[in-house]
């Protein structure tokens, strides 16, 4: 029997998720809602879903899960609303920029007995997931040092940046979750540096564009994250995990596999330049996970609690930069 789902929001990422649901043999997209009626109607038309209001979706007995794909500041209220209505909830990160509110809605979802899955999509990237399996299989021994490089092709608009919670809560948070995923042990100390090298206007709103973070676990494992809001060569997304017996890394995705040689040397293509192209498989993977955990009645691999921990780490980064100190988490 198909899992019946509704999309809350009909923007860019909602359309990506709609494709994944339509392609699934285990789910059906039955409803979509959006503050902009035309957006909802367009998505509905091409996917076979109906346009409904949020209240209608909450009240619909057939719908077992919703995907919250709306602006960040609406996440908490929508999770609360649909959790109380008994719907399983998939939500794009973050739950909320305010830690207390995020913890509150995680508790609400738990109390309501529904699943709350958070969209840390990168864990579902086939290559990063394969790296985790290599670690689990013991091929590199005890994990000692994790290196995560993540650079965006360009800086966000100031209007977006000012609502985003800052680079640590908006961009680094994905890498903080990835560090947890790869370390296999919780970080207890955080040191961070941040500066503005790319977009001077970010200084005016107290944000940064170039940051480095060290995470350390209780047993002394370390993870290093470097982020930049600029990379002329494309969307730079790499991990490396060094262990007692070896090392595993995941390379970047280039636009093609050509190599051209000439008098000036050999040239290969730049990196895929857009997160939705680079992470296409991971977006499909997270939707498959949401459907599967509903079908199999099990907890998702990335929960609201993971969102809370990542937010705490991001907050620690902010505090470390401000205080010039290593911060205990």
Site residues for a second copy per CB under 8 A: 126-127, 130-131, 134, 139-140, 142, 144-145, 147, 149, 151, 189, 191, 193, 195-198, 210-212, 214, 216, 219-222, 224, 226, 228, 230-233, 236, 242, 244-254, 256-271, 324-326
Report the alpha-carbon distance of residue 300 to residue 326 in Å, rounded: 32
Closest approach of a second copy to the CB of residue 305, in Å: 26
Closest approach of a second copy to the CB of residue 251, in Å: 4
Report the alpha-carbon distance of residue 95 to residue 53 in Å, rounded: 22
Residue closer to a second copy (CB basis): 102 or 176:
176
Q: Are 207 and 314 in contact (CB under 8 A)?
A: no
Q: Residue 314: which residues within 8 A CB-CB, separation 6 or more?
A: 165, 168, 169, 172, 173, 176
Residue closer to a second copy (CB basis): 202 or 293:
202
Residue closer to a second copy (CB basis): 59 or 205:
205
Residue closer to a second copy (CB basis): 111 or 220:
220
**Exposure b/e, 73-93, CB count within 10 A at least 16 = b:** eebbebbbbbbebebbbbbbb
Closest approach of a second copy to the CB of residue 119, in Å: 22
Report the alpha-carbon distance of residue 8 to residue 6 in Å, rounded: 6
| In the block, residue with structure tokens 């998505």 | 43
Report the alpha-carbon distance of residue 210 to residue 203 in Å, rounded: 12
Closest approach of a second copy to the CB of residue 322, in Å: 11
Residue closer to a second copy (CB basis): 82 or 168:
168
Closest approach of a second copy to the CB of residue 262, in Å: 4
């Amino acid at each position: 029997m198909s899992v019946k789902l509704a999309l809350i929001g009909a923007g860019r990422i909602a359309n990506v998720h709609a494709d994944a649901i339509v392609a699934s043999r285990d789910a059906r997209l039955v409803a979509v809602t959006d503050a902009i009626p035309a957006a909802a109607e367009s998505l509905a038309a091409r996917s076979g879903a109906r346009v409904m209001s949020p209240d209608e979706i909450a009240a619909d007995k057939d719908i077992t899960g919703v995907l919250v794909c709306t602006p960040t500041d609406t996440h908490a209220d929508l999770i609360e609303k649909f959790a109380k209505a008994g719907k399983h909830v998939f939500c794009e990160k973050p739950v909320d920029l305010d830690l207390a509110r995020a913890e509150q809605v995680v508790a609400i979802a738990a109390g309501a007995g529904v699943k709350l899955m958070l969209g840390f999509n990168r864990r579902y990237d086939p290559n990063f997931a394969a790296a985790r399996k290599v670690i689990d299989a013991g091929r590199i021994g005890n994990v000692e040092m994790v290196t995560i490089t993540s650079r965006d092709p360009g800086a966000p608009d100031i209007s977006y940046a000012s609502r985003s919670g800052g680079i640590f809560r908006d961009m680094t948070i994905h890498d903080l979750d990835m560090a947890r995923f790869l370390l296999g042990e919780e970080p207890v100390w955080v040191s961070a540096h941040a500066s503005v090298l790319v977009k001077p206007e970010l200084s005016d709103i107290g944000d940064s564009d170039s940051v480095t973070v060290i995470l350390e676990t209780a047993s002394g494992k370390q993870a290093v994250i470097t982020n930049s809001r600029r990379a002329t060569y494309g969307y730079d997304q790499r991990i490396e995990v060094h262990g007692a017996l070896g090392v595993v890394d995941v390379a970047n995705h280039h636009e093609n596999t050509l190599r051209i040689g000439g008098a000036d040397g050999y040239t290969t293509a730049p990196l895929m330049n857009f997160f939705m192209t680079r992470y296409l498989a991971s977006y499909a993977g997270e939707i498959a996970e949401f459907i599967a955990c509903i079908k199999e009645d099990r907890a998702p691999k990335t929960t609201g609690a993971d969102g809370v921990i990542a937010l705490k780490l991001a907050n620690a980064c902010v505090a470390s930069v401000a205080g010039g100190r290593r911060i205990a988490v």
